[in-house]
Amino acid sequence: MPALEDYALDACESLPSLRNYRMGDSLHPEQIKALRRLTSDQRLSIGMQFIRAGRRFKRAALRKQHPDWSDIEVAEEMRRLTLHGRT
């Protein structure tokens, strides 16, 4: 059985124009059709990829804002932000 990441990669390859999608952009009807064909596992996998990417961006922003912080301090702040639903 393929890993969930494989489903997401396959799904993204079938929707290449979504890679450049920006919030507020309108989706083409063909994009909507392709998204509707995704299985629940594929949707979950894509969602999880977005979550992981968001965490990587936030971690990088924290490191830039606080270059003197150790890895432990960054991890603690990430945990605090996650527990309180902040970004």
Note the pTM of the prediction, 2 decimals. Answer: 0.61
pLDDT tens readout for residues 25-66: 787 888 888 889 999 999 899 889 989 999 999 999 999 999
pLDDT tens readout for residues 64-77: 999 999 999 999 99
Per the model's pLDDT, the better-predicted residue between 28 and 14 turns out to be: 28
pLDDT tens readout for residues 16-29: 555 666 666 787 88
Q: Is the pLDDT of residue 87 over 90?
A: no
- The confidence score (pLDDT) of residue 17 equals 56
- The confidence score (pLDDT) of residue 19 equals 60
The candidate with the shortest Cα–Cα distance to 4, out of 56, 69, 48, is: 48
- Yes or no: say if 69 and 76 are a contact pair by the CB < 8 Å rule: no
Distance of CA 4 to the CA centre of its chain: 14
Tell me how far apart the alpha carbons of residues 2 and 61 are, in angstroms, rounded to a whole number: 33
